[in-house]
Amino acid sequence: MKSMNRRRFLLTSAATAATLPTLRAFAQTRASAATLTLHPDAPGPTIPQNFIGLSYETQQLSDPAFFSPNNEGLVAQFRSLSPNGVLRIGGNTSDVGWWKPTPTSKQPPLPPSVVIVPLRPEERPFQELAYSVTPEAVINLRAFLDATGWTCLYGINLGTSTPARAAEEAVFVSKTLGPKLEYFQVGNEPDGFPSRFRDKTKWSADAYLDEWLAAANAIRARVPSARFGLPDVAGNPQWPTTVSTRLAALHDHPEIAAISHHYYFTGPPSNPKANLDDLLKSNPKVQTVAETTRAAAARIGTKYRMTEGNSCYRGGRPGMSDVFGASLWSADYLLTLASLGYAGANLHGGSGKAVADSLGGTLPGELLMPDPKAPHPRPFYTPIAEIEGRYVAEPVFYGMKFAGHFAGATIIPIDFNPGEVNATAFAAKLPTGQTVIAIINKDKAKELRIDLSGYSLAFTLSAPSLSSTQVELTEPAKFREASIIAPASAVLLYNTQG
């Protein structure tokens, strides 16, 4: 054990904090006066075992071989990320796909409610980006879920479909996915429909809920056990409040499994705020959205989930979304949501084509590359990239895997003061009874000195720099304590005392 004459701060529990010496500011310029106090007698939320999730565009199902047990590289990466995660199928493309029950089925016409909205100059009309989902794709999806141990949130078209068509697809999906289906999500980012499918002068949270109820009730008439998530908004904080208030007033409504929303730190890629320095700062919006979402969920007695998100919307920004800084961001963001009581979080990714098509056919981040045709993970924020036929874990993946070590644990509230260092910390009690602590040093220059007597280093998340694409999540070769958390790194620690 390292001697106590090294000037490090004391890690304490609430029960012993009063008997421990008070920390004095360090004389070294690189050191930071810091305290971390655990409050095990006031436990917080328990994190579900399947907290970790990925989000993919529904368009991926247009290739039945993608989500298939034969896609062994993708299966392996899913299993490496989590033994029992949640795959969310949705995104913008979920509202332009159509169910093709037989080989001779024809694409149905657009319903009267759809309004053709003028496009951005670089976008293709959504009618040109329409695609079909076949029974083969859903059958393969079930086998993929069996192979990975994951379950699924399945997106149903609301933007360009009808209740009858939604119900027809839901019948087959429910029967095929069986216990692997968590719930249906009808419609993606409906608060953004005026930019794609609806007359903005007539569209509102109430108008959305009217359409949603028609589709959801049509589904549950044919699938009585159907459960649903909503409203899956892009960012409008009032929609969950309006929707949950109306649902609570209804005598009878479809079973709601979760209030859901999306979260991207910033965007588009050209936004000046799309940079590593800003990404690694705490964002008060996360807490604000959580409070609104939690209240909406409580109003109807259900859970809440972040179903699509990442660092930068519209495909991510190269040099920000695809580097080690994004690893630290994803670890911090997911553990923040876990501490706030979320049932889970799904970070968005998938193939470059599917995400580009969800944006009208382009990835704006490519305009920021010196050579847009150069081999590169696309989209830039994807946790798992397909490069030259191989599936590769990207920086965000490692942050997710780091956070995944808290799955099944019960949050222990803490008081953490890192001094001048840009760092965060989280603690939880595992089902085994052990305490796990995560310390994430997001500071690119300052180290964090720390006394962790009684705790051993279990994992280190590191890279040569914040802008590096080479990330490591490593275990120590032998037992040792951690006395310094290096700049731009994160550690997981487990207690070694009863």
pLDDT tens for 171-180 read 999 999 999 9
pLDDT for 28: 34
| Six-digit token string for 322 | 């695809």
pLDDT for 482: 76
Instruction: Assign 375 a pLDDT band (cuts: 50, 70, 90).
Output: confident
Instruction: Assign 29 a pLDDT band (cuts: 50, 70, 90).
Output: very low
Q: Averaged over 184-205, what is the pLDDT? A: 95
For residue 147, CA distances in Å to 135, 244, 424 come to: 19, 36, 35
| Six-digit token string for 462 | 């590191």
Q: Averaged over 143-152, what is the pLDDT? A: 98
**DSSP character string of 127-175:** GGG-EEE-HHHHHHHHHHHHHHT-EEEEEE--SS--HHHHHHHHHHHHH
Q: Where are the alpha helices (DSSP H) in 270-416?
A: 276-279, 284-299, 324-339, 352-358, 395-403
Per-residue pLDDT for 454 more than 80? yes
* Helix or strand holding residue 67 (H, E): none
Instruction: Assign 19 a pLDDT band (cuts: 50, 70, 90).
Output: very low
Full-model pTM:
0.92
* SS3 assignment, position 222: helix
Per-residue pLDDT for 27 more than 60? no
pLDDT for 281: 96
Q: Where are the alpha helices (DSSP H) in 250-368?
A: 276-279, 284-299, 324-339, 352-358
pLDDT for 498: 53
Per-residue pLDDT for 2 more than 50? no
Sort 64 into a burial class: Cβ within 10 Å, 0-12 / 13-18 / 19+: middle
Per-residue pLDDT for 40 more than 50? yes
pLDDT for 117: 82
Per DSSP bridges, beta strands 255-266 and 303-312 are parallel
What's the pLDDT tens digit per position in 456-492? 999 999 999 999 999 999 998 776 777 789 999 999 9
The conformation of residue 421, written as its DSSP 8-state character, comes to S
| Six-digit token string for 23 | 């920390």
Per-residue pLDDT for 5 more than 70? no
What's the pLDDT tens digit per position in 80-97? 999 999 999 999 999 999
Beta carbons of 134 and 100 less than 8 angstroms apart: yes
Instruction: Assign 22 a pLDDT band (cuts: 50, 70, 90).
Output: very low
pLDDT for 8: 29
pLDDT for 21: 27
Q: Averaged over 264-278, what is the pLDDT? A: 97
Contact residues for 372 (Cβ-Cβ < 8 A; gap 6+)? 366
Instruction: Residue 51: name the closest of 336, 398, 310, 408 by CA.
Output: 408
Instruction: Assign 451 a pLDDT band (cuts: 50, 70, 90).
Output: confident
Question: Count of CB atoms within 10 A of residue 496's CB?
Answer: 13
Per-residue pLDDT for 344 more than 80? yes
Is the bond leading into 268 cis (omega within 30 degrees of zero)?
Answer: yes
**CA 435, 462, 150, 83 torsion-angle sign:** negative
Q: Averaged over 27-38, what is the pLDDT? A: 63
- Cα(327)–Cα(463) distance, integer angstroms: 10
The conformation of residue 415, written as its DSSP 8-state character, comes to E
pLDDT for 194: 94
Residue with tokens 């479909």: 161
pLDDT for 371: 87
Distance of CA 14 to the CA centre of its chain: 32
pLDDT for 452: 74
> Domains, the chain, ranges and CATH?
11-46+409-495 (2.60.40.1180), 52-406 (3.20.20.80)
- Cα(361)–Cα(32) distance, integer angstroms: 48
Angle at 388 between CA 363 and CA 155, to 5 degrees: 50
